Amino acid sequence: MNPIDTHTHTDCSVDGHCSLDALCGAAKQKGVRVLAVTEHYDFDTRGGRDYYMAHAARRYTEFARAREAALETLLLYGIEIGQPHLAPAETKAFIDANRFDMVIGSLHDLRPERDIYHIAYTDAAVCRAVLDDYYAEMLELLAQPQFDTLGHLDYALRVMGTCFPSADLTPWRDAIDALLRRLVATGVALELNTAACRRWMGSLQHLRWVFERYRALGGERVTTGSDAHRTDDLAAHMDEAYDLLRAAGFRYVTYYEQRTPHCVPLP
């Protein structure tokens, strides 16, 4: 299997733990066919945007050098923009000023300035309320999308393991259905993010019905990302991701080069 991993981070992200050279070395070792490096650029209170800009020149130089050396892997210059709906004009200007291959749109914070990872999850009621807000605001994210794929639909679940009974998202079926319909209408892809396999959920099975429903609604574009912030996690659990997508009726996985979708058979 030659996996396609289109959601990764290096130390040019505020929470990254590996260099670009190390990530590319791991990609070669693991036989990664396509690697998109998608650093954080967030409209939030965590400093992700400022950190990115402080390292932007270094990132561009390192990436240009790495791309020339990446003979066995298609290396793509990507970005993960958090909360782009909060600053649509600035988002557009930022994207227009850069030659990104691929743009991920994500939701890491909720209004007003609530970092999902730092909310006090004291009981299941708090978890349910956060998920209510999460999917409602994610629909705002898709009102006028300027990105290619919607990142990690289950992001909020990652930090709820101590007080949430299960990884069951079916109580939010109607809200998720609205998101999926919007994805189909706009042509934005849906990401299957394998980070759940490294969290308390332990697998991707809680997302199976989501991708089955997306396919039933006419969804065709899916991207696959490990959300690796260190080399060990690069392309992790991609075999499970591809098995899930096949079972849901998909035959292709999508990556973006120069903002143009390329659909290739599932590895």
Q: Does pTM top 0.95 for this prediction?
A: yes
In this prediction, residues 199-228 reach a mean pLDDT of 98
Q: What local confidence, expressed as pLDDT, does residue 24 receive?
A: 96
Res. 119: pLDDT tops 70? yes
pLDDT of residue 21: 96
Taking the C-alpha atoms of residue 55 and residue 130, their distance in angstroms, rounded to an integer, is 32
At 46 the pLDDT is: 64
Query: 4-265 has which fold?
Result: TIM Barrel (3.20.20)
CA distance 209 to 31: 30
In the prediction, which pLDDT does 45 show? 63
Helix, strand, coil percentages (3-state) for the chain, rounded to 5, are 45, 20, 35
Proportion of the chain above pLDDT 70, given as a percent: 99
pLDDT of residue 71: 81
pLDDT higher than threshold 80 for residue 5: yes
What would the pLDDT profile of 238-267 be if each residue is shown by its tens digit?
Answer: 999 999 999 999 999 999 999 999 999 998
pLDDT reported for residue 229:
97
Pair 236, 162: CB distance under 8 Å = no
By percentage, how much of the chain surpasses pLDDT 90? 90
pLDDT at 47: 66
What do you get for the CA distance between the two ends of the chain, in Å? 6
Confidence band, pLDDT 50/70/90 cuts, at residue 174: very high
Residue 43 has pLDDT above 80, yes or no: yes
What mean pLDDT comes out for the span 173-182? 99
For the CA atoms of 199, 201, 202, 204, the dihedral, rounded to the nearest 10 degrees, stands at -110
Q: What are the sequence ranges of the domains in the chain? A: 4-265
The mean pLDDT of 124-133, rounded to a whole number, is 97
Distance of CA 44 to the CA centre of its chain: 17
pLDDT at 11 exceeding the cut of 80: yes
Instruction: List pLDDT tens digits, range 50-75.
Output: 888 999 999 999 999 999 988 889 99
Closest listed residue to residue 51, CA positions, set 23, 89, 11: 11
Q: What is the mean pLDDT of residues 6-12?
A: 97
Cα Rg of the chain, angstroms: 17
